[in-house]
Amino acid sequence: MTGAEMVLKALVDQGVEVIFGYPGGAVLPLYDELFKQNRLRHVLVRHEQAAVHAAEGYARSTGKVGVVLVTSGPGATNAVTGLLDAMCDSVPLVCLTGQVPTHLIGNDAFQEADTTGITRPCTKHNYLVKDTNQVARVVHEAFYVARTGRPGPVVIDLPKDVLVGKGTYAGPAKVKHKTYRPQVKGDIKAIEEALKLMAHAKRPIFYIGGGVVNSGQAASQLLTQFVHTTGFPCTQTLMGLGGFPGSDPQSLGMVGMHGTYEANMSMHDCDVMICIGARFDDRVTGRINAFAPHAKKIHVDIDPSSINKNVAVDIAIVGDVAHVVEDMMKLWKAKQLRADDRALKAWWGQIEKWRARDCLRFGASNKVIKPQYAIQRLYELTRSRDTYITTEVGQHQMWAAQFYKFEEPGRWMTSGGLGTMGYGLPSAMGVQIAHPDSLVIDIAGEASIQMNIQEMSTLAQYRLPVKVFILNNQYMGMVRQWQELLHGGRYSESYSAALPDFVKLAEAYGAVGLKAEKVDELDGVIEQMMAVNKPVIVDCRVDPAENCFPMIPSGAAHNEMLLGPEDEAEKPISEDGMVLV
């Protein structure tokens, strides 16, 4: 069997159905084999970065490993942004990259790049295969590494002579990794200690993240039950949205820089914090020395390096969320533990007072479409349907996170850790491939969407009815907001000049273009968008001056939030925040 045949056989044996890719010289043997078979579907993207984001969307909405195939040199370097994006957000991917023949490696050959060198810090692991007999083993091992433990992207660099050469195939059952065995069961002693802390808590809070979503549907169901059993409030990170039902009365919404007032105040004032599958990211913690100063902290994470990295915790439990929460639940019941009801009642009383501030309130208008209102309407009109949402990066992303509520995991795909503009459209493409009959919407900004706009062509080719909903405020809104708050309103290069006519652009790509300029047009346009069984771009013209609130300015603590434009005038942001990101 040739190396190329073995790669495809190994993919089939791993249960792969779809590959996102782009051909080139070094991977021609693989494309030749793809041509001769019909078990693997290949989706031809228009840029390698998009192939990786599409595979991310596919992986995150299905729980499977996404697969990417790109050529050597520029193919591999174009994929790098996507790989790091997947690394930051723990998305399981296997990316096959072509490489020049082994005898040319190191010779600055045409389309040669040191792919394993370049991708080392942005992958969970990578391989350069130098022997055809190792191809099958490496592919199987790569899938194992990508999906177990904290998931992540794995690159397999395949020199052309290795693909053409002949060797023997080994099935997946024969491959066992020498060292890599992540711990999935949590330490029972630590769990017991955690539960004791929880039972005595006066002001507890669950703080959950993407680990819950990554752990699978069961994890999120178990966690939801456990949160209900305890009666504690639960806040979610950007990546954790959907890990706990967003419309549940115990949900406080999102935590962090643009999280809700009630979530951030509760995080600040809590006495026991139960962090599950989140990593105390700087966007969540705010100023680290003012983060939850009175709290005992419990941290459940599958990745030991996430523990005590930014914030020192009191009880660490290394393990998979589903396993740990199941044990927590069992022991809570077996030991007949109960939350301190009286304290909890008082705590909820306080939380309700914070909630009553209605921090997501915005100045409604009937003259201009407020971006928040647009998302609210989108949510109301699509919530009862089988909907998946992806986003780009910026203000629209934060408004989507604030105003769109997710009831289950895997419905929300956004670039959290890396913050990659251009993520949303290709990601939506991957979601739609996995769920052809579902409603898939990319909530976008007019700046971000142009970073991978070429994928409209892919949508056309595969008849993928993705809906691109652009909140067009003619600015890189988040950049403009920071310039307003921190740089004296000097809007350096943040105006989106010379924008295309998005309606005509959609039509040029064989899609449908719609425009909403007035408040009373909005609902009709959204209905129209959903009614079309084709890709659609909606150019929703929104208030260009709107800022995203509430906000914890950089370098501030959770209890120093800006609630809105009125606050902004009262509490000038310190210059210290300027050096932070």
Partner 1 sequence: MQTQEIRRHTISILVDNEAGVLARVIGLFSGRGYNIESLTVAEVDTREQLSRITIVTSGTLMIIEQIKAQLRRLVPVHKVSDLTIEGPSVSRELALVKVTGAGEKRVESLRIADIFRARVVDSTNESFVFEIVGATDKLDAFIRLMEPLGLMDVSRTGVVAIARGPNPI
Interface with partner 1 (CB under 8 A): 116-117, 120-121, 124-125, 128, 145, 177-180, 303-305, 307-309, 312
CA–CA distance, 238 with 284 (Å, rounded to integer): 9
> 5, 33, 48, 326: which is the annotated catalytic residue?
48
Give the count of alpha carbons within 13 A of 486, CB side only: 19
Smallest separation, CB 120 to partner 1 (Å) = 6
Q: What is the DSSP string of 429-489?
A: HHHHHH-TTSEEEEEEETTGGGGSGGGHHHHHHTT---EEEEEE-SB-HHHHHHHHHHSTT
Give the C-alpha separation, 119 to 126, whole Å.
7
Closer to partner 1 by CB, 41 or 177: give it.
177
478 labelled catalytic: yes
Q: Compute CA distances 8 → 5, 153, 158, 453, whole Å.
A: 5, 19, 13, 30
Q: Is 159 or 465 the residue whose CB approaches partner 1 more closely?
A: 159
Residue 278 CA to residue 239 CA, distance in Å, equals 8
What's the angle, vertex CA 264, arms to CA 258 and CA 267, rounded to 5?
Answer: 145
DSSP letter assigned to residue 183: -
The whole-angstrom distance between residue 392's C-alpha and the CA centroid of its chain comes to 10
Residues 139, 175: contact at Cβ < 8 Å? no
**DSSP for residue 572:** P
Q: Could you tell me the smallest distance in angstroms from the CB atom of residue 316 to partner 1?
A: 10
Q: How far is the CB of 144 from partner 1 (least distance, A)?
A: 10
* HEC profile of 187-201: CHHHHHHHHHHHHCC
Q: Which residues contact 404 (CB under 8 A, 6 or more apart)?
A: 375, 378, 379, 389, 412, 443
Is position 111 annotated as part of the catalytic site?
yes
Residue 306 vs 382, nearer CB to partner 1? 306
Helix H or strand E encompassing 515: strand 512-516
| Residue 160 falls in the annotated catalytic set | yes
Q: How far is the CB of 87 from partner 1 (least distance, A)?
A: 12
- Of 25 and 172, which has the nearer Cβ to partner 1? 172
For residues 121 and 349, which CB has a smaller minimum distance to partner 1 in the complex? 121
Q: Which is nearer to partner 1, 110 or 180 (by Cβ)?
A: 180
Q: Closest CB to partner 1 among 305 and 533?
A: 305
d(CA 61, CA 57): 6
Would you state the structure tokens that stand for residue 314, as one six-digit string?
């009191």
Question: What's the closest the beta carbon of residue 484 comes to partner 1, in angstroms?
Answer: 32
Catalytic residue of the set 111, 221, 454, 474: 111
CB of 581 to partner 1, least distance (A): 16
Q: CB of 236 within 8 A of CB of 243?
A: yes
Nearest approach, Cβ of 276 to partner 1 (angstroms)? 19
Choosing from 37, 110, 176, 330, the catalytic residue is 110
Q: Which of 9, 64, 124, 160 is catalytic?
A: 160
Least CB distance from residue 182 to partner 1, whole Å?
A: 9
Do 542 and 374 touch, CB atoms closer than 8 A?
yes
* Catalytic residue check, 221: no
Of 161 and 303, the one with the shorter C-beta distance to partner 1 is 303
Give the nearest distance from C-beta 134 to partner 1 in angstroms: 11
Q: Which is nearer to partner 1, 197 or 378 (CB)?
A: 197
Q: How many residues does the chain have?
A: 581
For residue 241, give the nearest of 304, 298, 284 by alpha carbon: 284
Catalytic residue, candidates 239, 267, 328, 478: 478
Q: How far is the CB of 371 from partner 1 (least distance, A)?
A: 37
Q: Quick one: which of 480, 279, 264, 293 has its CA closest to 371? A: 480
Is the torsion defined by CA of 97, 98, 100, 101 positive or negative?
positive
Is 534 a known active-site residue? no
Residue 513 identity: G
DSSP line for 331-364:
HHHHTT----HHHHHHHHHHHHHHHTT-TT----
- Asked if 45 and 54 count as a contact pair (C-beta separation under 8 A), the reply is yes
Shorter beta-carbon distance to partner 1: residue 8 or 88 = 88
Residues serving a catalytic function are 48, 110-111, 160, 478
